[in-house]
Amino acid sequence: MVRLMSTTTPWVEVYEDLHRHPELSFDEHRTAGIVADALRDFGFEVETGVGRTGVVGVIRNGDGPTVLVRADMDALPVTEQTGLPYSSSVEGVAHACGHDLHVTCLLAACEELAASRSTWSGTLLAVFQPAEELIVGARAMLDDGLYERYGRPVVVLGQHVAPLPAGVIGLHTGPAFAAVDGLSITLHGTGGHGSSPHTTVDPVVMAASTVMRLQTVVSREVNPKDMAVVTVGRLSAGTKSNIIPPVATMDVSVRTYDEAVRSRVLGAIERIVNGEAASAGAPRDPEIRHLERCDAVVNDGDACEATRPALASTGALVIDPGSVAGSEDVGLFATEADCPCVYWLLGGADPSHFEGLSTVREFGEKVATLPSNHSPAFAPVPEPTITLGTAALVAAARHWLPVG
């Protein structure tokens, strides 16, 4: 594994400042201001307020393709428990997913690419996206005319920090992040006195039975070689022990990598919810609302192979980490442009955690013990992560921008 010098650079200060001042989805005003000011200083044409709080920086540098490099900016409603000296100063909000690191690396990469513009040609489109955590920010920027204003890119590049060791980059060809569907389900019963269940249709029992039956979707209906997750993350009904309530509600999260598997799972959920309601004698059909929907991030095989040497040229060890069950909306920028996506994981865990380990299995077991993204204790090491993340973005972008 590579060991890069740990130094405090101006970019570490920028990172610590962003980390101290996290902003929730679509509230990234301070962050967007810092991004816009820096991009203007580097000589970018800058537009703010794209997709509400998004920022676009562009350098039109002669003939050549448009290359989109993306970072997300939002933080999470999490109370930070890292104990870091630069911990969040905002109660109940923290950069627990590392988007502050993504912003820092992309800004540093923009500075470097702007300074070296005599050595490449084409159009560099730096996209600082809001509201990734709600899986709606990419859509908001596209609906606000991102490509009508700046043209379609030939490739979408980006990275997400992960608890792999700093010095390691994870690049997986094919489905890299899962599709997500968030469903909100309302089951209707007939309420009444807890002492007279025979006069009611109890939605609590209906919900309990539905939750249990939903467990069979993955275990009995999905081919064992395919991946699917069905999680009932919220279940609610009633106010008091002696009242049978009229409704029960639940929220369900579905993750899949494959479109056919996705529609089979969604179809099975609908069938089970309707079936359990019918079987209970529900007075009204249940309602299923699709609250959240995002396709899988599918990394293009040829584009990944073409970019891999550029990533390796940074000195990073480039590994295949497999697919991640989390979700991301970066893929939408590529789907909408009908161009390949190359999205990699950037190791951010302190390399000292991995000393003395040699096998892939040992590494995997160690990664599983470290605080993951969204944990209150998630704390990537600023260096060498920022230096390497910057170098990776620069090298990948330069691969796609022809020598000027």
Residues at the interface with Zn ion (CB under 5 A): 97
From the CB of 248, what's the least distance to Zn ion, in Å? 29
Q: Are 249 and 237 in contact (CB under 8 A)?
A: yes
Task: State the first-to-last Cα distance of the chain, in angstroms, to the nearest integer.
Answer: 33
User: If you search the block for the tokens 């095989």, which residue do you land on?
Assistant: 301
Catalytically active residues are: 74, 132
CB nearer to Zn ion: give 72 or 336.
72
CB nearer to Zn ion: give 373 or 387.
373
| Residue with the shortest CB distance to Zn ion | 97
From the CB of 206, what's the least distance to Zn ion, in Å? 33
CB nearer to Zn ion: give 52 or 102.
102
CB nearer to Zn ion: give 77 or 197.
77
CB nearer to Zn ion: give 70 or 398.
70
From the CB of 78, what's the least distance to Zn ion, in Å? 10
From the CB of 161, what's the least distance to Zn ion, in Å? 8
Q: In Å, how far are 23, 31, 281 from 93, measured between CA atoms?
A: 7, 14, 44
Tell me the chain's radius of gyration from C-alpha atoms.
Answer: 23
Q: In Å, how far are 344, 351, 385, 393 from 167, measured between CA atoms?
A: 13, 8, 7, 14
Q: What is the DSSP secondary-structure string of 10-65?
A: HHHHHHHHHHHS---TT--HHHHHHHHHHHHHHT-EEEEEETTTEEEEEEEESSS-
Q: Cα separation of 282 and 145, whole Å?
A: 46
Q: Are 286 and 277 in contact (CB under 8 A)?
A: yes
From the CB of 260, what's the least distance to Zn ion, in Å? 27
Q: Cα separation of 136 and 332, whole Å?
A: 10
- CB neighbour list of residue 248: distance below 8 Å, 6 or more residues apart: 186, 187, 189, 203, 204, 206, 207, 235, 236, 237, 238
10: tokens are 């101006």
